[in-house]
Amino acid sequence: MTDPLHDPLPASPHDEPNGELDGELDGELLSLALEAARRAGELLRDGRPDDLAVAATKSSPIDVVTEMDIAAEKLITGFLADARPDDGFLGEEGASTAGTSGVRWIVDPLDGTVNYLYGLPTWAVSIAAERDGETVAGVVEVPMRGETYRAVRGGGAFCGDRPLRCRPAPPLDQALVSTGFNYVEQVRRHQAEVARLLIPRLRDIRRGGSAAVDLCDVAAGRLDGYYERGLHPWDLAAGDLIAREAGALTGSRPGEPPSRDLAVAASPGVFAPLQRLLDDLGAWHD
Ligand code: IPD
Ligand code: CA
Ligand code: CA
């Protein structure tokens, strides 16, 4: 009889101590994510109807989805599934399969839907590949900026060919920090209260409207930090890897990885005081 506590787990092809093969696979996943994000970005930029309307609402009347969110997710999952039929998916607009290959794609086909609906430029396509539960490649395509952010675990982060490095940390009271507000009224009320207490203790606050872009802006040194409560894996997965690979620290409450409770990303030096302050203010709960 096997003893699950003491017998070694059966070897899986993903456990191989074969850094080179894993590296090759991660590179392949990145290339696919880049192509899928490019195509979806083009569809969203060039195919946006002038009379774009809300197709449905989700967690609240202001949490909207358009036909373009749905079309972009279909394009991305179709392209990736053609290339790698055994992979799993988690997509904001409903894609959800476990797959059998150990690889799962985490997709936000349009991050910043409200900006997109209003014709504001800050929106993105976010695609991450997870291998055995860990993000190994991430792409954030920001069509209206003409920017493509990418990272592979352990390989650094880039915008196009430019290596990314987060900003040298100023003292917290000189830090420019972005945030976002949830679609659910009760959470928003609490977030407004936290922001009220935070604003006098920082240089300023920004609200860009796309979590994926906020995380890339931390990576690119355009923000000192970013925090938000209530994010989903698809908002976070690619941008979190890009921020970390650019030298930023990311987390939730002290000692915990970014989660739905709270996501914090910042230059080292801003991260710890910002995280402490957010924890003191109870930014992760009502
Ligand atoms: C939203 C954006 C926004 C953030 C919200 C997200 P969506 O994603 O990232 O900046 O504040 O929490 O839900 O709905 O546009 O994909
Ligand atoms: Ca999103
Ligand atoms: Ca979305």
**Residue-wise pLDDT tens digits, 139-157:** 999 999 999 999 999 999 9
Q: Does domain 172-280 have CATH number 3.40.190.80?
A: yes
- What is the rounded distance in angstroms from the CA atom of residue 195 to the CA atom of residue 52? 32
Residue-level pLDDT at 18:
64
Q: Mean pLDDT over residues 32-44, rounded?
A: 98
Between the CA of 272 and the centroid of ligand 3 the distance, in Å, is 29
Task: Outline which parts of the chain fall under CATH 3.40.190.80.
Answer: 172-280
Task: Outline which parts of the chain fall under CATH 3.30.540.10.
Answer: 19-163
Query: Does the pLDDT at position 36 exceed 90?
Result: yes
Is residue 108 within 6 Å of ligand 1 at its C-beta? yes
- What is the rounded distance in angstroms from the CA atom of residue 198 to the CA atom of residue 259? 21
Q: Mean pLDDT over residues 208-215, rounded?
A: 98
Residue type at position 41: G
pLDDT digits (tens, 9 = 90+) for 150-187: 999 999 999 999 999 999 999 999 999 999 999 999 99
Ligand 1 mutation pick, 108, 182, 228, 235, max ligand atoms within 8 A of CB: 235
Ligand 1 mutation pick, 210, 217, 232, 234, max ligand atoms within 8 A of CB: 210
The number of the ligand nearest the C-alpha atom of 263 reads 1
Residue-level pLDDT at 91:
97
pLDDT band at 196 (very low <50, low <70, confident <90, very high): very high
Closest CA to 104 of 234, 212, 16, 203: 234
Q: Write the DSSP assignment of 142-166 as a string of letters.
A: EGGGTEEEEEETTS-EEETTEEP-P
Tell me what percent of the residues of the chain surpass a pLDDT of 90.
84
Residue nearest to atom 15 of ligand 1 (CA): 112
Query: Does the pLDDT at position 32 exceed 90?
Result: yes
pLDDT band at 12 (very low <50, low <70, confident <90, very high): very low
Residue-level pLDDT at 130:
98
- CATH node for 19-163: 3.30.540.10
Residue 3, burial from CB neighbour count under 10 angstroms (0-12, 13-18, 19+): exposed
Query: Does the pLDDT at position 4 exceed 50?
Result: no
CA dihedral sign, ordered 174, 245, 207, 181: negative
Query: Does the pLDDT at position 216 exceed 80?
Result: yes
pLDDT digits (tens, 9 = 90+) for 61-104: 888 789 999 999 999 999 999 999 999 999 999 989 999 999 99
Residue nearest to atom 2 of ligand 1 (CA): 210
Q: Write the DSSP assignment of the chain as a string of letters.
A: ---TTTSPPPP-GGG---HHHHHHHHHHHHHHHHHHHHHHHHHHHHS--TT--EEEE-SSTT-EEEHHHHHHHHHHHHHHHHH-TT-EEEETTS-EE--SSSEEEEEEEEE-HHHHHHT-S--EEEEEEEETTEEEEEEEEEGGGTEEEEEETTS-EEETTEEP-PPPPPPGGG-EEEE---SSHHHHHHHHHHHHHHGGGSSEEE--S-HHHHHHHHHTTS-SEEEESS--HHHHHHHHHHHHHTT-EEESSTTS---SS-EEEE-TTTHHHHHHHHHHTTTT--
Query: Does the pLDDT at position 244 exceed 90?
Result: yes
Between the CA of 266 and the centroid of ligand 3 the distance, in Å, is 23
Residue 145, burial from CB neighbour count under 10 angstroms (0-12, 13-18, 19+): middle
Query: Does the pLDDT at position 245 exceed 80?
Result: yes
Residue-level pLDDT at 8:
40
Which has more pLDDT, 22 or 136? 136
